[in-house]
Amino acid sequence: MSSVRVLVGTKKGAFVLTADGARNDWKVSGPFFAGWEIYHVKGSPVDPNRLYASQSSGWFGQVVQRSDDGGTTWAPVGNKFAYDGVPGTHQWYDGTPHPWEFKRVWHLEPSLSDPDTVYAGIEDAALFKSTDGGTNWEELAGLRGHGSGPHWQPGAGGMCLHTIILDPANPDRMYIAISAAGAFRTDDGGKTWKPINKGLVSNFMPDPTAEVGHCVHHVAMHRQRPDVLFMQKHWDVMRSDDAGENWREVSGNLPTDFGFVIDVHAHQPETLYVVPIKSDSEHFVPDGQLRVFRSKTGGNEWEALTTGLPQQNCYVNVLRDAMAVDTLDDCGIYFGTSGGQVYASSNAATPGLRLCAICRPCSASRCRPLPDAPGPISTIRVVLPQHLRTLAAVGAEVELKVAAPITLRRVLDAVEAGYPTLRGTIRDYSTGQRRAFLRFFVCEQDWSHEPVDAELPAPVVQGREPVLIIGAIAGG
């Protein structure tokens, strides 16, 4: 009988879920790399025993791991990602030049023909290739050298190359997507690249239809039709029928067209799946209802699949690499949530089986969803210092929706989600530590050194008092 394997990356390690073809009884192995964030895990389509994983930590950095026995044992491989030549600069959140700096691997894509060949999408955005099982990495520098690289700018989760799609019909063709630069295609094995963003509209940009700068969240393709692409953008679900040359919107009757995941049925190229998320400032499902939406017409006409999924008081996110389909005759669909649940359907129609609750799958995104099992939503007031008001283009005080329990961490998460230009200005991007020249005050008390997960006082929760973020005063 056929079998199924689901690879799960979480903020607490990696897990391998396995079942027979009936997909009723599942075995959970792991956690592997316990306590580490796993940005991506993927197996080789040529050798199912060959797995690659991207392991990351704000304290210990980045490690690429490889397994040659299907995940039973793992070993670190090469972890040197050096930009080709003089890296130069890209744009920072405030539009100023910023040097290219390697931070982590967001996506690993094994070759369709050789288990030793694997591609890596990294932050700051670049594409690397290894032909020796991950031991050595070389940048495909034509992507950053396209000419638009100096104008690329980070999205809320950083400037990450998060999607790599290999064309099964043309080994020289590859698609990639970058947040927030857009989608690109190569037709010569990575030597040269072209932006493929015609038809995308991003109203947050000075030029909403610019050639580059769009925040693409994910791209999906069906193997039988490699020229047909589907995209979940920051806002809008999009479709291209000419290998990305032109895009058109197919959001149709979705309750919201913001989201991260998109995938295609293994045997029905016009059947799509998305999970709508409320908005770019409220990263949870609308109305507290976890719903997978399916279109059987390649977009525009969508229906909600809800059997077995929580339909009240559910405030989770589903991130960009947290959905997959299998290739069995009755195609199965799987997705993980920011609350740690993995759901599955054995017929791609009713996602009702909850496989397990592990621990917050981080997928391939750091867009800071709400933490686990949030409670009631409160309106929290935050006062910003003058330089951050200018950067975010807001007044002295902003109001944010935050789920209980109300902690300083959750408030700052909401600030960065609502105002992406502030990402990295209040807390260090990598470590999450408070910037040295900022202080936090709550109810006239200095909270700068209080635990970030301590609950804030009632006057703040009730909206009577704001959280103050002020510039520290130097002197002696």
> With bands split at pLDDT 50, 70 and 90, how would you rate the model's confidence at 180?
confident
For a pLDDT cut of 90, what percent of the chain falls above it? 68
- What's the number of domains the chain is made of? 2
CATH of the domain at 458: 3.10.20.30
Does a structural domain hold residue 366? no
Strands (E), 396-444: 397-403, 438-442
Do 341 and 438 fall into the same domain? no
User: Is-contact 358 376, C-beta < 8 A?
Assistant: no
Instruction: Check pLDDT > 80 for residue 35.
Output: yes
pTM for the predicted model, two decimal places: 0.75
Residue 192, token pair as written in the block? 């040269």
What domain range is 138 assigned to?
3-357
Q: Which of 1-5, 395-399, 457-461 has the lowest mean pLDDT?
A: 1-5
Is the pLDDT confidence value at 128 over 90? yes
Higher pLDDT: 60 or 303? It is 303
Q: Do 319 and 410 reside in the same domain of the chain?
A: no
Residue 429, pLDDT score: 64
- 358 or 226, which is more confident: 226
Residue ending a domain, among 299, 324, 357, is: 357
- Residue 261 covered by a domain: yes
pLDDT of amino acid 358: 44
Q: Does 9 have pLDDT greater than 90? A: yes
Is 364 within the bounds of a domain?
no
The answer to whether residue 446 sits within a structural domain is: yes
Q: What is the dihedral of CA 455, 457, 463, 469, to 10 degrees?
A: -80
Q: Which residue has the higher pLDDT, 459 or 371?
A: 459
Residue 421: pLDDT band (50, 70, 90) is confident
346 and 402, same domain (yes or no): no
Least confident of 196-205, 394-403, 418-427: 418-427
Same domain, 213 and 85: yes
Q: Is the pLDDT reported for residue 156 higher than 70? A: yes
d(CA 200, CA 299): 16
**324 and 237 assigned to the same domain:** yes
What lies within 8 Å, CB to CB, of 445 at 6+ separation is none
315 and 455 in a single domain? The answer is no
Question: Model confidence over 201-251: pLDDT tens digits?
Answer: 998 888 999 999 999 999 999 999 999 999 999 999 999 999 999 999 999
Q: Which of 329, 357, 385 is the last residue of a domain?
A: 357
pLDDT of the residue at 40: 96
Which string of DSSP letters, residue by residue, matches 441-476?
EETTEE-TTS-TTSBPPHHHHTTSSPEEEEEPPP--
User: What is the CATH classification number for the domain harbouring 295?
Assistant: 2.130.10.10
pLDDT over 60 (residue 53): yes
Between 1 and 10, name the one with better pLDDT. Answer: 10
Report yes or no on 265 lying in a domain.
yes
pLDDT at 472: 61
Model pLDDT for residues 318-336, shown as the tens digit of each residue: 999 999 999 998 899 999 9
Q: What is the pLDDT of residue 430?
A: 62
**Residue 362 placed within a domain:** no
Supply the pLDDT for residue 251.
97
* Residue with the larger pLDDT of the pair 345 and 58: 345
pLDDT for res 181: 93
Q: Which long-range contacts (CB under 8 A, 24 or more apart) does 199-202 make?
A: 199/238, 199/240, 199/246, 199/247, 199/248, 199/249, 200/233, 200/236, 200/238, 200/247, 201/236, 202/233, 202/234, 202/235
Q: Is residue 129 part of a domain?
A: yes
Question: In the predicted model, is pLDDT for residue 74 greater than 90?
Answer: yes
Q: Could you tell me if 233 and 87 lie in one domain?
A: yes
Q: Based on the fold, state whether residues 381 and 346 are members of the same structural domain.
A: no
Q: How confident is the model at residue 95 (pLDDT cuts 50, 70, 90)?
A: confident
Mean pLDDT of 55-65: 87
Please report which confidence band the pLDDT of residue 50 belongs to, taking 50, 70 and 90 as the band edges: very high
Same domain? For 421 and 316 the reply is no
Tell me: do 343 and 394 sit in the same domain: no
The larger pLDDT score, comparing residue 211 to residue 368, is at: 211
- Domain finish residue from 357, 385, 410: 357
Same domain, yes or no: 350 and 426: no
Q: How far apart are the C-alpha atoms of 344 and 362, rounded to whole Å?
A: 18
Q: Which two tokens stand for residue 5?
A: 């394997």
pLDDT digits (tens, 9 = 90+) for 252-275: 999 999 999 999 999 999 999 999
pLDDT for the residue 363? 44
Predicted local confidence at residue 238, as pLDDT: 97
- How far apart are alpha carbons 56 and 370 in whole angstroms? 20
Sheet holding 27-32, edge to edge: 3-10, 13-20, 27-32
Check residue 360 and give its pLDDT. 37
Residues 277 and 414 in one domain: no
The type of residue at 25 is D
pLDDT at 348 (0 to 100): 63
Residue 50 lies in a domain: yes
Tell me the pLDDT of the chain averaged across its residues: 89
Q: Is the pLDDT of residue 365 over 90?
A: no
List pLDDT tens digits, range 277-308: 999 889 999 999 999 999 999 999 999 999 88
- What is the pLDDT averaged over residues 47-63? 90
* Cα atoms in the Cβ-side hemisphere of radius 13 Å centred on 321: 28
pLDDT at residue 476, rounded to an integer? 37
Q: What mean pLDDT do residues 70-91 have?
A: 94
